[in-house]
């Protein structure tokens, strides 16, 4: 069994991280500045997250919008496909993106160069994610 027992649990944990990122001055602003639409397609359990950095967020104080709707009408410039466990390890800072792309652990469709440009901006999330898990009462998911 993987880290997440259900799609709801995956959405709750990674969704909480996404909510922080959307409104974070450093992270959200950089993603918005890249004007990038990215779709994350997770498997085992399944979920689809679409980040819309192509236009400002409709929500005051946030920089981009995100949706867990699998049939989002947005056309992503980049789609990243991976097992949910890979995403979980990635947000702990335990997965090297280039290595994972090379090994096929993460499959990218679209411009990898665009993703690599925002990679430095998301690095603060590596320390935020374990704190979010603890706040959710999911200390068991924190990788030490």
Mean pLDDT of the chain: 95
Mean pLDDT of 65-79: 94
Domain ranges of the chain: 7-136
Give CATH superfamily name and number for 7-136. SCP2 sterol-binding domain (3.30.1050.10)
Give exposure, 35-70, as e/b (b: 16+ Cβ within 10 Å).
Answer: ebbbbbbbeebebbbbbbbbeebeeeebbbbbbbee
Mean pLDDT of 106-111: 96
Which own/partner pairs from 128-131 qualify as long-range (CB within 8 Å, at least 24 positions apart)?
Answer: 128/17, 128/20, 129/17, 129/91, 129/92, 130/92
pLDDT at 80 exceeding the cut of 80: yes
Predicted local distance difference test score (pLDDT) of residue 47: 98
Pick the closest to residue 106 from 134, 66, 140, 79 (CA basis): 79
Mean pLDDT of 128-136: 98
Query: Which residues sit opposite 39 in a β-bridge?
Result: 50, 79
Could you read off the pLDDT of 58-69 as tens digits, one per residue?
888 899 999 999
Predicted local distance difference test score (pLDDT) of residue 20: 96
Please give the Cα distance from 56 to 144 (Å, whole number): 35
Could you read off the pLDDT of 12-54 as tens digits, one per residue?
999 999 999 999 999 999 999 999 999 999 999 999 999 999 9
Predicted local distance difference test score (pLDDT) of residue 73: 92
In this prediction, residue 144 has a pLDDT band, given cuts at 50, 70 and 90, of confident
């Amino acid at each position: 069994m993987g880290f997440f027992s259900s799609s709801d649990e995956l959405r709750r944990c990674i969704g909480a991280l996404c909510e922080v990122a959307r409104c974070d001055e450093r992270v959200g602003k950089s993603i918005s500045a890249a004007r990038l639409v990215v779709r994350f397609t997770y498997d085992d359990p399944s979920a689809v997250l679409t980040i819309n950095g192509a236009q400002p967020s409709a929500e005051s104080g946030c920089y981009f919008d995100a949706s867990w709707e699998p049939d989002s009408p947005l056309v992503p410039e980049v789609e990243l496909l991976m097992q949910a466990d890979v995403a979980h390890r990635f947000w702990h800072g335990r997965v090297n993106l280039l290595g994972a792309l090379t090994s096929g652990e993460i499959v990218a469709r679209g411009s990898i160069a665009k993703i690599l440009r925002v990679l430095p901006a998301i690095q603060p999330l590596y320390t935020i994610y374990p704190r979010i898990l603890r706040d959710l009462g999911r200390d068991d998911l924190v990788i030490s």
